[in-house]
Structure 1
């Protein structure tokens, strides 16, 4: 089974302090609303996401949201989980529609300086 990691690399200068918290909040808000345009202003034009430019990443994020809607997701809620595949044990943000398993999950990787990266996790604990 091939697993695709979609990774958002955030500039260190643009991801620390209060801005780091705002990046996380806007990302979660976009996932809860199933609307990638909410997160778009937080991304710099020259940022790349695992060989994807800003707009290809946003399109792939919106694709995740559209798949969730197609499966019947309406009112999305978030729960925290743990990665069991890509970064074993790392905290994940799982987003649930009307099913027992998450529609999608992301890792928001931070360090003492702020947000380091954000990427899709296909092995989050809610999927087991």
Structure 2
């Protein structure tokens, strides 16, 4: 399976202070609910996710979510982790299915109370090996 890096550069004026928190919470909520339309209103028309414009990125996110839905999943659970790859040590938002299957993970870079970018992480600590000591605190069978 080929995995590509998807990256969002967030417009500074729409990502500072309280808006940064809204962006982070809305993005993670969209990932948990497997619904890209939740995040769509927060993306400016001229924002790009790596080489993808707003609509191409949303389409790729929807495709990722539809793949999981096609496997019978209706939502994910977010667990914070750590990048073990190109952004080693950075916080990662990892999303698991109710079968304790690591579905996908994103890094949300913040700087000076501002969301700078959001991109997929393919080497978070939870994407390869599931640490049951961490997972025992979550209810995947809601």
Shorter-chain TM band: over 0.9
Deviations 1:55-83 (A, max 9, x none): 00111111111122223322421101111
Task: Output the CA distance in 2 between the equivalents of 1:43 and 1:55.
Answer: 9
How many aligned positions are there? 128
Aligned-residue offset at 1:100: 2.9
Task: Output the CA distance in 2 between the equivalents of 1:82 and 1:71.
Answer: 26
Is 1:32–2:48 an aligned residue pair? Answer: no
Q: What SS does the corresponding residue of 2:117 show, helix, strand or coil?
A: strand
Unpaired runs of 5+ residues, structure 1, are none
Task: Output the CA distance in 1 between the equivalents of 2:67 and 2:3.
Answer: 17
- Aligned positions of 1:1-128 closer than 5 A: 4-128=4-128
Task: Output the CA distance in 2 between the equivalents of 1:75 and 1:15.
Answer: 26
Are 2:23 and 2:42, in contact at CA under 8 Å, matched by a contact in 1? yes
Q: TM-score, normalised by structure 1?
A: 0.92
Q: RMSD of the alignment, in Å? A: 1.6
Unpaired runs of 5+ residues, structure 2, are 129-142
Are 1:101 and 1:126, in contact at CA under 8 Å, matched by a contact in 2? no
Greater gyration radius: 2
